């Protein structure tokens, strides 16, 4: 498990992806109310849309496409709250 409980969403301002980043941030903050210590939105350029937990990239649009919230929630959960249930859309965390 990553020691950091800080999530950063870096999004492209040129592409106008702030609403998408803010929506994903809301989803993560709602799901991980007590587990996260901070969630930051970081403006970027050049088509970037990257989600990090601490210094670790857990989602990169260039490699994986735009994320479904469930996939990002699972990636974040696996690093900050292993074993936490994400409800009906959950797949178990790796042991």
Which pLDDT tens digits describe the chain residue by residue (95 residues)?
Answer: 446 799 999 999 999 999 999 999 999 999 999 999 999 999 999 999 999 999 999 999 999 999 889 999 999 999 999 989 998 767 655 55
Q: What SS3 string covers the chain?
A: CCCCCEEEEEEECCCCCHHHHHHHHHHHHHHCCCCCCEEEEEEECCCCEEEEECCEEEEEHHHHCCCCHHHHHHHHHHHHCCCCCCHHHCCCCCC
């Amino acid at each position: 498990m990553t020691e950091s409980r800080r999530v950063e969403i870096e999004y492209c301002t040129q592409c106008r992806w702030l609403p998408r980043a803010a929506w994903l941030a809301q989803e993560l903050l709602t799901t991980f109310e007590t587990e996260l210590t901070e969630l930051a939105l970081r403006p970027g350029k050049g088509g970037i849309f990257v989600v990090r937990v601490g210094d670790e990239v857990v989602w990169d649009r260039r490699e994986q496409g735009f994320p479904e919230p469930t996939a990002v929630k699972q990636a974040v959960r696996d690093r900050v709250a292993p074993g936490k249930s994400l409800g009906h859309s959950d797949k178990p965390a790796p042991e």
